[in-house]
Amino acid sequence: MESIRIAYVVATPELHSDESVTACQGDVEKIFQRLQALGYDGAELMIRDPDSIEKGLFERLSRYYGIEIPALCTGEVFGQDRLSFMDPDAEVRAEAIRRTKSIIDFASVFSAQVNIGRLRGRLSREIPRERSIGWMYDAFETISEYAETRGVTLTLEPIPRVEWNNLFTIGDGIHVVQKMGRKNFRLMADVYAMNIEEKSFSDGLRLARPYLAHIHISDSNRLAPGGGNLDFACITKAIQAIDYRGYVSAELIQEPDWEEAMVRTIEILKSLRNQQ
């Protein structure tokens, strides 16, 4: 894993405090200081509304602490504001696109990726599947074209069927990426989802390799590595086998607290990297 960089997902200040948020919440200066001290390379920002964030805050933190911002996670745009590309309400869909463009602008400052997971939306019983999927693709085209002008890559995240109702597997994600056919529309792999949906990590990552731009990592129960039953030596070897050179970013439930989860994550991932 020598070429792999390690990040931790950090919530931006405008997110509402919520234990269900799979990101570190709190004093962001203290969080960046701790990331630096522990030897993390980056902070992936879980963001809700860039217009509500102090201008220049994360540019200053990134520069001062030497912590890169490789990606922006948009899950709470849906989770807290219920905005998505497949909402039955046209005004909600339009606001989801407007918000995404604002996030893309924010990401462009850091040359960061923008993750599309829950933001794509859910299928609705009252709307024909084909229409909902059409809205999703229309939104993907709009935001991809906009992101291209800003030099930003979008990454599509499959979500397991126990949590969502569309695009579950690596194969599902690849189908969409291929259909989009855009250089700046790529795939993100999530270890938690892969553990549920894929036959093996090695097979799933080999399949993802030509399209893969980012990886989320956690244990089988969304806790820090070591808190569940996943074999991280095996996962590390699977990542190495595809010669992946991007970020591995820890998206976790913050138990027993973010400081302990942050320590456990870096200890396991660094120990595995050092063993190679």
- State residue 270's pLDDT score: 81
Structure tokens at 170: 């690596």
- State residue 25's pLDDT score: 97
> Which is nearest to 244 in space by CA: 235, 253, 233?
235
Q: CA triplet 250, 245, 38: central angle to 5 degrees?
A: 40
Buried b (16+ CB within 10 A) or exposed e, 151-169: ebbbbbbbbbeeebebbbb
Distance from chain centroid for Cα 102: 17
CATH of residue 128: 3.20.20.150
- State residue 1's pLDDT score: 52
Structure tokens at 100: 């995404």
* Low pLDDT (below 50) residues in the chain: none
- State residue 251's pLDDT score: 97
- pTM of the complete model: 0.95
Beta bridge partners of 122: none
> How many domains does the chain divide into?
1
Beta bridge partners of 115: 73, 155
Q: Which residues have C-beta within 8 Å of that of residue 214, sequence separation ≥ 6? A: 70, 71, 113, 115, 155, 186, 188, 189, 246, 247, 249
- State residue 274's pLDDT score: 62
Q: Where does residue 33 fall: left (phi above 0), alpha (psi -120 to 50 degrees), or beta otherwise?
A: alpha
Q: What is the DSSP string of 175-235?
A: HHHHHH--TTEEEEEEHHHHHHH-S-HHHHHHHHGGGEEEEEE--TTSSSTTSSS--HHHH
- State residue 103's pLDDT score: 98
Range of the domain at 219: 5-275
| Helices (runs of H) and strands (runs of E) counted in the chain | 10, 8
- State residue 68's pLDDT score: 98
Structure tokens at 90: 């046209």
- State residue 276's pLDDT score: 53
